[in-house]
Amino acid sequence: PMAGDVARMRELLALSLRAPEPQRSAAENDLQQLQKAPITAPFLAALLDMCVAVPNAEGTPRNLAQLASEDADVRLLAVLWLKHFLKAQWRARKATNLLSDEERAHVRGVLLFASLHEPQQTVALHLALIVATIARAEFPTQWSFDTLFPMMIQPLRRLNGVVDLSRERRGVDVCYRVVKELAARRLMQHRKQFAILSVELLPLLLQYWTATATQLNSFLQSQGVAADQTNNEKTATIATALMTTGAEQLNVLVTTTKIISTMLLNAFRDLSALQNGELMRSALVEFYNQLEKLVKFRQAFVGDAGAADVEEAIQTLDKCMHRIAAIVVGVQNSYPMEFREYLPPYLTLFWNVLTAFASVNMTVLPSPRRLQIDALQFFANVLSCRLYKNESLSGPDGTTRVITKVITATGDVALTDAMVLEAQTAVQTFFTQTENRFASMLNLVVMHYMTLTAKDLDEWQSDPEAYCTLMESLTAKESVRACAENVFLTLVQNFPDQTIPALTQITSSASSYLVELGRGLISAGDDRHILEMDAVLLAIGLGCYDLHDCFEFEPWFLTNLVPILVNQDPAVGSFHGLPVLRFRIVWLVSCWLAQLSANVRPPLYDSLLNPSASFHQADADVALKLRVIQTLESMVNDWGFEHDAFAPFLPRALECLFAFFPQADESESKMKVLGCLEAIIQACGAQIVSFCHQISAPLPALWTNESDASNLVRGKILQLMAKLLSSVKEAPSVETGSVQTLLDMCVQVVRFATDVSNPDEVFLMESGLELWNETLEVSTVYTEELHQLFGNALRLMERDYEHVVLVLSLLEHYLRLGKAQFWQAYHSNVSGLLQSVIGNVKAEASLQIAQVTEIIVATVPIDQVTVFLPVVKTMVEACISFQQGEAKHEPDSVLAGYLSVVARLMMINLDFTLKNLLVNDHAVLLVLVDAMLKLFYTVGSSPLTLLRRKVWALALCSTLMLMEQPLLEKTGQILEICVEVIEDEQEEQRLKQAAAANSDEDGARSGVYRAFQAHHRNQQQAPNEEDAPVLALDLKGFVCERLNDIAAKLGSGAFDQLLQTVDSSVLRKLRS
């Protein structure tokens, strides 16, 4: 039956590859179902027979002829199916994995054999991955070292000098997959197992690596020595050799290097203890020797390269050099102290790499990019390494010999001063012995590695927007220039005394060229000097923090760069028609803003936005326009921004931004335009209001513009409109027509953004709710559109409470703006909403619920409050459970909010409160009074504002009028609270008068300061109408009247007794 199953399987695989629909989908489904079948030994054996090499008794493949007759695609698909099947089912327990231990061992052996004898490369890769997956689960307990590794590494021993490269390649490939998988297990026991395995395997792998590398190097050398050949013939011979025999050697070498790299970086400490450290020493020496030879060969070869198609071969060679270099860089970075004795040779080697490939004419062959990144990274790591610095010494001059423990990512390091000094000496000697290499390195990095390459310029030419986005996101792992920038910064930050003079020299020689260029003395053609100038300016911008104290930027900028920026001839500072220098100068402005004085800014605005025509021309360089937009945003956001200086350019700036928007294709570019607009609105504050129409008129067109990222753009537009409305709030006077148009637009977009049935709401909801809040704050008229719109908020809250905080503040605005009309229509919805939310949200939202409820109690006529009492009852229950000392209760600040609602109700109508809310239960009233007396002193002033404290005092006074003994006993505490509130009111009054006297002194200040002022004013705005009578009430007079009423009711004897319980200082203050 198993043969039948496999025949059926072969048929299904063929159908799923090539059959027309619907047969193909049906076959795919059947294969999917088979994945869930239990593993059985006969089925697996039959399947393995069909699709992979299986061993006979002598240990050689017995079915190679049959494999060759199989359809190659079907066989590959069968192996892929098997990979997923075993991944899912192998580790499963007895229910679906029906193999005995012997059968499992047999299957493992067959899979390992198959992966090592597989003739086809892709199939071999997937078999190696299957072996690695099983090894990860079962090594070393079920699948021991002796049954897993010897078979792979047998060919590497080359017994009796037999070399079988294809067998060796299979062995190395499987070994790499298994080692990589085992290194990914991170538990301590797994790491120990990996260390033991590495110690076992590394000596043989290193021996094999050395033999292969030596063989490759001598092979490459021998190809290049034939004297009677011309250069082109030599190149062709070497290329052919690299594509054939050499390719196999290179591939084996690359994979072996990857295995060694994985072992060194995961088990270095254990490996460096082997043979007293001799093994590690010989490895690092061997890496050095072989890499040096490969670099020399590659350098000579680039020189020879003719027209032969050698790129692919060279790429493999470069990959191999990168792999070896990456081990060295990784070891130095993770184990800097252990690496110290190898610093001198490797510093020299990587220095040679950087200099060798800097001088070559790279039009012929691409330079070994990844090797250059490794070399640059090595220097960046060494020069910034903390353990090589003076701070790691225990004494000021390194005199003591204390061993200090330093914790690093790879474990603790025991340091002696001698070690630190040895590393320091190695670095110092290399950089200073023969010449000042700090200066040479700075020169090399800036003038060669930081310049734009031909590839960069092509990308800029073909797609400037994508080029801009890419330039901003490149990392040192993938870009030589980004890595060179890191090295430059490392040099300038760690060795300023040696490198800043060199930078000054580069700058001064650049200055003379720039001045001539600006004056038009240099013919504006394709001068390569332009690219070097670009790199110098890039360095000056990157180093702005480190050069801040020693470089007068502004005068230098005005003399050398402004003439190029304002030159009418677009060819000045351009290369291949790209405005390279103008782009860089505009970028440089954003780096050095802090040093640009106020009087330089207006002409700068002028030149950035001039000619504004270029923003209207679609063919003008997009990258430059984007850069101008970003620099303009930096200038507007800067602390030194002054509105008056920018005001004359504001209309032109808005015009340019809106002109550019439709030209941008990438969503990132559109977001930059909107970001700049938002920054301008924020910085100009109330003054922007006169441009309300100019800003809002183009927005509908931007909104409806359909693109992949329209939701990103729409979200940004919502934020922009909210910013614009908050500026309208700040403005002393506004032109009502343009503001009304803006408000109408806001209502339309809010309706779209907060509609739960709209599939895009997930991107827009939050910004939509924020804009809705701003719209209500600015609106003075409650329109029918706003009234209908509230339905969106109710539907949102039926779905979930994610945006509850924003919805509650909406509700607050609606209560104030819509008043009776809103309450009439929505009172039952609001009541239901608050009841469902209360007690189910965090403190922030609970405080808002209290606030909203307090507004309802204060503004809605008392006869209509009845509908709403269930919510207030819930609040009363929360206060009772707190007062009774239950462990789980709301935070104090929330309880203070709840009590404020009850106090407001008591103040308005005590009888109504007692009858309808407390159902005449005076015991509950007493509990509430106790809670208020307790929380009055423990809750801070943000939940308990002065207004609320006054409401509490009035409510507490009104409870005394019930003339009940338990309440009268609290008279002393209640009067104490009243006196405190009276004193607070007097203090507040004094502060207000002082502030009014000060406010006249604040003239024109920056945007940030103005925002602070506006915030301050906001907090002191006029009171809400329901609060005005409370604030106006004379509390002292009110308390005295109540005391007189009590005296009349009690009679003078009893009243005097009551006064005995009150603190004398309190009475004194009331009488004063």
pLDDT in tens, 942-968: 888 999 999 999 999 999 999 999 999
**Does residue 891 share a domain with residue 954?**
yes
Residue 178 has pLDDT above 90, yes or no: yes
pLDDT in tens, 55-92: 998 989 998 998 999 899 999 999 999 999 999 888 86
User: What's the CA gap between 551 and 542, in Å, rounded?
Assistant: 13
- Interval 360-374 mean pLDDT: 77
Q: Answer whether residue 685 is part of any domain.
A: no
Closest CA to 566 of 604, 615, 514, 531: 604
Over pLDDT 70: what percentage of the chain?
A: 93
1032 Rama class: left (phi>0) / alpha (psi -120 to 50) / beta: alpha
> Look-up: residue for tokens 């989908």?
25
Residue 162 has pLDDT above 80, yes or no: yes
Residue type, 1017: R
Cα–Cα distances (Å) from 241 to 238, 248, 798, in that order, read 5, 10, 73
**Domain ends where: 113, 139, 165?**
139
- Interval 797-822 mean pLDDT: 93
**Does residue 951 share a domain with residue 1055?**
yes
Residue type, 35: Q
Question: What does DSSP assign to residue 626?
Answer: H
**Does residue 984 share a domain with residue 908?**
yes
Residue 704 has pLDDT above 60, yes or no: yes
Q: With contact defined as beta carbons under 8 Å apart, do 804 and 836 qualify?
A: no
Q: Answer whether residue 707 is part of any domain.
A: no
Cβ neighbours, 10 Å, residue 399: 9
Instruction: Please return the burial class of 704, using the count of CB atoms within 10 Å of its CB with bins 0-12, 13-18 and 19+.
Output: exposed
Closest CA to 244 of 312, 189, 192, 196: 312
Residue 926 has a pLDDT of: 95
Residue 226 has pLDDT above 70, yes or no: no
Q: Do the strands 411-415 and 404-408 form a parallel or antiparallel pair, or are they unpaired?
A: antiparallel
Q: Answer whether residue 420 is part of any domain.
A: no
Q: With contact defined as beta carbons under 8 Å apart, do 279 and 271 qualify?
A: yes
- Interval 688-692 mean pLDDT: 89
Residue 541 has a pLDDT of: 97
Residue 307 has a pLDDT of: 46
Residue type, 1016: H
**Does residue 929 share a domain with residue 905?**
yes
Residue 1025 has a pLDDT of: 83
Residue 493 has a pLDDT of: 96
Residue 576 has pLDDT above 70, yes or no: yes
Residue 1005 has pLDDT above 60, yes or no: no
Residue 546 banded pLDDT, cuts 50, 70, 90: very high
Contacts with 853 (C-beta within 8 Å, 6 or more apart), sequence order: 834, 868, 871, 872, 875, 901
User: What's the CA gap between 13 and 75, in Å, rounded?
Assistant: 9
**Does residue 978 share a domain with residue 832?**
no
Cβ neighbours, 10 Å, residue 457: 17
Query: Containing H/E element for 414?
Result: strand 411-415
Cβ neighbours, 10 Å, residue 559: 13
Residue 667 has a pLDDT of: 87
**Domain ends where: 837, 858, 892?**
837
Q: Answer whether residue 374 is part of any domain.
A: no
Q: Answer whether residue 988 is part of any domain.
A: yes
> Look-up: residue for tokens 């390194």?
398
Residue type, 196: I
Q: With contact defined as beta carbons under 8 Å apart, do 540 and 588 qualify?
A: yes
Contacts with 310 (C-beta within 8 Å, 6 or more apart), sequence order: 235, 238, 239, 242, 365
pTM for this prediction: 0.83
Q: Answer whether residue 315 is part of any domain.
A: no
Q: What φ, ψ does residue 404 adopt, rounded to 5°? A: -110, 150
Query: Containing H/E element for 677?
Result: helix 667-684
pLDDT in tens, 1009-1047: 665 666 556 555 677 888 889 999 999 999 999 999 999
> Look-up: residue for tokens 């009171």?
1023
Q: What φ, ψ does residue 578 adopt, rounded to 5°? A: -100, 135
Residue 211 banded pLDDT, cuts 50, 70, 90: very high
Residue 10 has pLDDT above 80, yes or no: yes
More confident residue, 1005 or 928: 928
**Does residue 877 share a domain with residue 767?**
no
**Domain ends where: 837, 862, 878?**
837
Closest CA to 448 of 526, 385, 506: 506
Residue 778 has a pLDDT of: 92
- Interval 365-392 mean pLDDT: 91
Residue 935 has pLDDT above 60, yes or no: yes
pLDDT in tens, 1037-1063: 999 999 999 999 999 899 999 999 999
Q: Answer whether residue 540 is part of any domain.
A: no
Cα dihedral 229, 232, 233, 239 sign: positive
**Average pLDDT score, the chain:** 89
Q: Answer whether residue 760 is part of any domain.
A: yes
**Does residue 852 share a domain with residue 823?**
no
More confident residue, 394 or 161: 161
Residue 578 has a pLDDT of: 92
**Does residue 990 share a domain with residue 920?**
yes
Residue 408 has a pLDDT of: 74
**Does residue 961 share a domain with residue 936?**
yes
User: What's the CA gap between 830 and 38, in Å, rounded?
Assistant: 58
Residue 236 banded pLDDT, cuts 50, 70, 90: confident
Closest CA to 1061 of 608, 1021, 1050: 1050
Q: How many structural domains compose the chain?
A: 3
User: Which of 65-79, 101-115, 586-600, 729-743 is least confident?
Assistant: 729-743
pLDDT in tens, 614-649: 888 888 899 999 999 999 999 999 998 999 999 999
Contacts with 658 (C-beta within 8 Å, 6 or more apart), sequence order: 698
Cα–Cα distances (Å) from 694 to 175, 209, 539, in that order, read 68, 71, 40
**Does residue 900 share a domain with residue 853?**
yes
User: What's the CA gap between 634 and 612, in Å, rounded?
Assistant: 19
Domain that holds residue 799: 726-837
Residue 252 has a pLDDT of: 92
**Does residue 899 share a domain with residue 797?**
no
Continuous H helices in 705-803: 710-730, 736-753, 761-778, 784-799
More confident residue, 363 or 141: 141
**Does residue 1023 share a domain with residue 948?**
yes
